[in-house]
Amino acid sequence: MNIERAEIDGKPVSRIVRLRHERIQLHTPANITVLPRGKHLITIGYNVEESLAAKSNWGTPGFYHPKEIGSINGVNITHNYVWTQGEEYGARHYVPCFDDPDKKAKWKVKISHPPEYTALSNGKSLEKPFYGDLSTSLAVTEFEATPPMSSYLLTFAVSKHKRVTLLTKDGYQLSVYAINMTKAEEELVLLKECFEYLNSVLQPKYPLSKIDVFLRSPGGWAMENWGLITADYMLKHIMQHELAHQWFGNLVTTRTWSHYWLNEGFATWWENQREDTPVSFVTFSTKFWMEILVIKLSQLSR
């Protein structure tokens, strides 16, 4: 990320200092030594490019710009699109932020993009895209604000993926975006089944108005971004795992990454629950305990 400018309350800062561990320090504007107590508006201008690490390793958090070959009416088409992966400390690669699980904010996202592309984010789009900058012919999609949310869950995608969608009986909009529409329709059936089950047995009810699944290039892992799950494919247990995170991790969040195994523990347990099976916190499978042990040991080895 390249920081181009920074302002405090509309006035340029006197200095931008890059510190270790991907941190920056902003010095107060000229002729201002101490900011008065209260709220202040910090504006940061920056640009982002796909990192070399992200290009070579799908498990690296950050900003991705893959090219994927798909077939439309028997003709191979190259699909260019972008998507993001924020877990663990990845959001800082595409937005300046306090990048820790316990630092939550209400995120308001607006994306400029070519009009033939669709932009997605955590919140539901407020209206059809409109033309913002006529000189560049870019459309602008604005999204509703999220609930208070950790930065690692902030995500967006811009693509020409096709969409299949439905409304649940409770009025939630469920959608799957993919290049392969047959696969998208199969995933939508899973999404509906798993979502309606979890939303019926967990409290409080799912707090957003929609949930999307964005199917992207193979590699990496599925990610439970609030309102916009990203994955290369979704088997039933994976779908239910990522949906369980909408409550365990997204709504209720551990204070530090050292307790992240709790997020994964609850999501792993819920991935094996079914509507025709009584919910029990006593009967745990060997698979569950082995997965939790692996997660915890991997953290201790860092």
Active site residues: 242
**In terms of Cα–Cα distance, which of 278, 193, 176 is closest to 232?**
176
CA terminus-to-terminus distance, the chain: 25
- Cβ of 262: how many Cβ atoms within 10 Å? 17
Measure the CA–CA gap between 177 and 39, rounded to whole angstroms. 39
Q: Where are the alpha helices (DSSP H) in the chain?
A: 52-56, 181-201, 236-244, 260-270, 286-300
CB 237, CB 272: distance < 8 Å:
yes
3-state secondary structure string, 196-231? HHHHHHCCCCCCCCEEEEEECCCCCCCECCCCEEEE
Sign of CA dihedral 54, 58, 64, 70: positive
